[in-house]
Amino acid sequence: MLAALTAGAQGLSWKFSPGLQHIHQLILNLHTREAQELLSRTPARGEELYQIYLLSFSETLDVLISEDAAKFDIIDKRFKERLHRLEAMDNSPDALFLQAELHLQRGFSLLNLNQEVNAVLAIRKAYNLVQDGLKKYPGWVPLKKTSGVIQVMVGTVPDKYHWFITLLGMRGSVAVGQKQLNELRASASSLSVEAGILYYTIKGLINQQFPEAIQGILASLQQQPENKLLLFLGVNLLMKDARSEEALGLIKTLDQQTSGLPLHYIDYLHGEILLQKGEYDRAISHYLRFVAAYRSENFKKDAYYKISLAHWLNGNTDHAKRYFDKARQTGRSVAEPDRVATAQLEEGRLPNAKLLKVRLAIDGGYYTEARKMIDQIKLSDLTSLKEQAEYYYRKARLEHRTGNLAGAKVLYDQTISMAGQQPWYFAANASLQMGYICIDEKRFAAAETYLNQAIAYKKHEYKTSIDGKARSALEMLKAKKSA
């Protein structure tokens, strides 16, 4: 019996019928309500498991984008009902995959709502089901979607959760996860599009390989120019790569898509770009629109802090102080931008305006403006060791971004030296960037030293993301050294 199931599973890749393929495309375009209505009117005809997958996927995207806890409470009951039905079915590859996928989707939703322990337990169930499925049906590619995502998640888990993950018996690897997603991406499965989106997102946000990641997402956008999910990811990746002007073009296209799930977070990102450009009044307008519409508390502390910065840079000191105090009293410090805002709020003062303008311009890719501003900064403008170290870090980032690696390396090392053991994020990121440069230069021993140094900095506001990137780079470095 098992041999027959295994043999049958080898050739399966999950192919939706044309009707369900259309519904899948609607979901990926964030038209979740329309997709759910179509599913409710579509007869199963032997595609019940596909329908369960699509319905659960659409509801999960809805919760992840809205971060609506009340909505999740309703959907969580459906998760449990579906899992109960699946557990009663035969131990087929389809049922195993779907159980694992639903547990993973539930884990993502719980994680997004800051229920971290319950999220890890749900992901562990998915992990165990995937491991069982891969042993029984090693050639069945849909399992590689769930497995690939879990491998990446566990492979980049923050320090504070390592003991818990190890205790639960989970092991992860970004490289293994990417390989699995790439195999699914290249297959004939209807899930290959999702795998491609995940693959390129990880390439950018985890591996910092932005050119390849952006090229992949933009290539998909050429085929689906109005796809909201692809546009949303494109905006995020372009901004992370300091290409804010290009991101604005995608935001303009997104703003024309009025149907489907509302993406209030885009107003926040639009505000970020306008702040980088020095268009302070327009930035404030977008931040205020975001906090008025977004249901979650995430990013609101940072949004109010950014409004304070916009007023500060615009010369409105009274308004800056008012929104500084409002940021202190609003939201929570879970999302990384909120943690960064909290660190500055706890200092009790607004940052050095000249350094801040340089930082914002570099972050947006406005390098000509950044160079003019940094050239005007005098030593007397830097009133503390932290500001002096940050000054060299900003110069390093500018030289790195504009291709002057020799200058960047000197300035990164100067930043690290000046910071000493201080828990300043820019010293940690200087070490990370030096690690990347040394990998490119095939100076692998030096790269390993810098990457471990990046991880060694404690209690800074970017610790989770910098540590995750450094660990991913160390894993890639290990593969390069053994090749």
Is residue 7 over pLDDT 60? no
d(CA 288, CA 198): 31
- Residue 1: what pLDDT? 32
Closest CA relative to residue 361, chosen from 396, 398, 324, 410: 398
Residues of the chain with pLDDT > 90, as a percent, come to 76
d(CA 37, CA 53): 15
Please give the model's pTM, rounded to 2 decimal places.
0.91
| Phi, psi (degrees; rounded to nearest 5) at 116 | -70, -40
Q: How confident is the model at residue 2 (pLDDT cuts 50, 70, 90)?
A: very low
Q: How confident is the model at residue 117 (pLDDT cuts 50, 70, 90)?
A: confident
- What are the percentages of helix, strand and coil residues in the chain, rounded to 5? 75, 0, 25
- Residue 453: what pLDDT? 96
d(CA 37, CA 51): 12
Tokens 């607004």 correspond to what residue? 350
d(CA 421, CA 385): 13
* Chain centroid to CA 360: 20
d(CA 221, CA 217): 6
How many other C-beta atoms can be found within 10 angstroms of the C-beta atom of residue 450? 24
User: For residue 482, what are its two tokens?
Assistant: 């053994």
Residues with Cβ within 8 Å of residue 283, at least 6 apart in sequence = 271, 272, 274, 275, 306, 307, 310
How many alpha carbons fall within 13 Å on the CB side of residue 243? 14
Mean pLDDT of the chain: 92
Greatest mean pLDDT range, 7-16, 36-45, 46-55, 282-291: 282-291
Q: How confident is the model at residue 6 (pLDDT cuts 50, 70, 90)?
A: very low
Is residue 479 over pLDDT 80? no
- Residue 8: what pLDDT? 38
Tokens 């639009």 correspond to what residue? 270
Least confident of 70-74, 224-228, 273-277, 355-359: 70-74
- Residue 483: what pLDDT? 62
pLDDT in tens, 20-46: 999 999 999 999 999 999 999 988 788
Residue 177 DSSP symbol: H
Is residue 273 over pLDDT 60? yes
d(CA 205, CA 179): 16
pLDDT in tens, 285-301: 999 999 999 988 999 99
Closest CA relative to residue 321, chosen from 307, 303, 332, 340: 307
Work out the average pLDDT over 433-455: 96
| Phi, psi (degrees; rounded to nearest 5) at 282 | -70, -40
Domains belonging to the chain, first-starting first, are 2-207 (1.25.40)
Sign (positive or negative) of CA dihedral 222, 224, 226, 227 = negative
User: 89 vs 132, which has greater pLDDT?
Assistant: 132
Q: Where are the alpha helices (DSSP H) in 137-173?
A: 143-155, 159-167
The C-alpha torsion from 305 through 240 and 455 to 370, rounded to 10°, is -70
